[in-house]
Amino acid sequence: MTRYVRRFSRTERVLHWVNALGFFTLLGSGLVLYLPSLSVLVGRRPLVKDVHFWSGIGWVSLLVLVALAGDRRGLLRTAGELERFDRDDARWLTGRRAPQGRFNAGQKLNAVLTAAFTLLFFVSGLLLWLGERDTRFRFASTVILHDGLMYAALVLLVGHLYLAVIHPATRHALRGITVGTVSEDWARRHHGKWTQD
Amino acid sequence: MSDTPVPTSRPGHGARVGRGVFLATTLGGLSSLWWGRAVWSRVSSSIGPLESYIPLIPSGGWRIYTISGSLPGFDPATWRLELGGAVEHPVSLDYRQLLALPKASQVSTFHCVTGWTVHNVAWGGVRIRDVLAQVTPHPSAHALRFVSAEEPYVDYLTLKEALLPDVMLAYEMDGKPLSRAHGAPVRLVIPDMYGYKNVKWLKGIELVPREELGYWEQLGYDQDAWVGRSNGYT
């Protein structure tokens, strides 16, 4: 019989899926605003702009709300795990085999960059909205930053989706972020240092 | 929210590299508000020839800004450009008559006030001078009101601005008839001013005594939209 170990708390899972939902809503509405072919196809630019803006506000507000209402102490512990890189992580990142903790070095890097991108998306998006209303908030490069973030975030997303949904060795992780538990056997193989503790 | 505790990895191992990466990415990103444009224009000119093969890059750097629910359509059989206001003889031009006016061509750069730029756009169309010759403005007329089929979009130029040598009513872009997305069949082009002055989907031009506030200007944009020295840019 397969034995399972708990990898993600409910707070972590809710945060992940709120973030995913927000990201895809913003990506979809954002591409309609950004790509001429989609802009022409869909039309209704003022409506799409509103959807995009309020999704952004809702996205960040929900993330903050879930973090505050959920297991804050647990999240802080997780943040501590995510930001620490040891020698094994350095080895792992340079393509060598090395035992990994609850998060491997790639997952840590993905989480750290995603957090920074979220903040930058929010700030640049707010500046775009404010700049349309008041020239004091207008920078020549806000739109470049916002668009550039989209490309950078897409690169991360494609890698993340490939590993979480397609790659046979790693896609078991999807179970963890959905129901919370992963098989002990899989955890031992992929996150040896975590299961030892 | 009650939550099942999760066994975490042993704490205290390794350096807090993540904090540094987070801060560096955030600060790098924010500082790009000042250097982003210069770098992007270099990147986009070097990948220029590839752009049309990458579906996630707006073709040629254009974005299509509209203010209403749908883009105005164009039917050559029924379309008219109404020239009126303070003039001797108001005229209603159809598409064929517009194309029959003396044709001008130019290559100019298009700047949007939101920060994107399209270099070297080839425009074909007619100069304002040749359009005004059709109607003979009254001496009291000192400005032009450009009316878009996309309601309620309008904008104004002074007569002096409209007669700058590189201002035109463009019905061709990059060698092809102006597409619907870019304002078919004819739009205003004034390269020295930001895009919001370059009214798309023109359906009428009126001679008026003085300039008033256009669509975006009523929402706070500068009436004189000179590129690089208006709307908060210096």
Could you give the 3-state DSSP secondary structure of residue B100? helix
Shared domain for B126 and B83, answered yes or no, is yes
Fold exhibited by the domain A4-196: Fumarate Reductase Cytochrome B subunit (1.20.950)
Shared domain for B139 and B202, answered yes or no, is yes
pLDDT at B1: 47
pLDDT at B11: 57
B58 in a structural domain:
no
Percent of the residues in chain A that have a pLDDT greater than 90, as a whole number: 83
Shared domain for B129 and B184, answered yes or no, is yes
Q: Could A102 and B56 be called an inter-chain contact, meaning their C-beta atoms sit closer than 8 Å?
A: no
Could you give the 3-state DSSP secondary structure of residue B105? strand
User: How far does the CA of residue B122 sit from the closest CA of chain A (Å)?
Assistant: 19
Shared domain for B87 and B181, answered yes or no, is yes
A83 touches chain B (CB under 8 A): yes
Percent of the residues in chain A that have a pLDDT greater than 70, as a whole number: 99
pLDDT tens-digit profile, chain B (234 residues):
457 777 776 656 788 999 999 999 999 999 999 988 888 878 777 776 666 677 667 767 889 999 988 889 999 999 999 999 999 999 999 999 999 999 999 999 999 998 888 989 999 999 999 999 999 999 999 999 999 999 999 999 999 999 999 999 999 999 999 999 999 999 999 999 999 999 999 999 999 999 999 999 998 899 999 998 888 887
Shared domain for B96 and B191, answered yes or no, is yes
Residue to mutate among B16, B27, B57, B64, with most A CBs inside 10 A, is: B64
pLDDT at B10: 64
Shared domain for B42 and B154, answered yes or no, is no
B218 touches chain A (CB under 8 A): no
pLDDT at A37: 86
Shared domain for B45 and B117, answered yes or no, is no
Sign of the torsion formed by the C-alpha atoms of A122, A123, A124 and A127: positive
Q: What is the pLDDT of residues A65-113, one digit of tens each?
A: 999 999 999 999 999 999 999 999 999 999 998 999 999 999 999 999 9
Q: Could A113 and B25 be called an inter-chain contact, meaning their C-beta atoms sit closer than 8 Å?
A: yes
B60 in a structural domain:
no
Shared domain for B41 and B72, answered yes or no, is no
Question: Which residues 44-73 in chain A show a CB within 8 A of chain B?
Answer: 44-47, 69-71
The domain locations on chain A are 4-196
Residue to mutate among B3, B19, B179, with most A CBs inside 10 A, is: B3
Structural domain that includes position B194: 68-218
B152 in a structural domain:
yes
Beta bridge partners of B207: B85, B144
In this structure, are residues B157 and B166 in contact, taking their beta carbons and an 8 Å threshold? no
- Of A110, A111, A105, A109, residue with least CA distance to A92: A105
B220 touches chain A (CB under 8 A): yes
According to DSSP, residue A133 is labeled: T
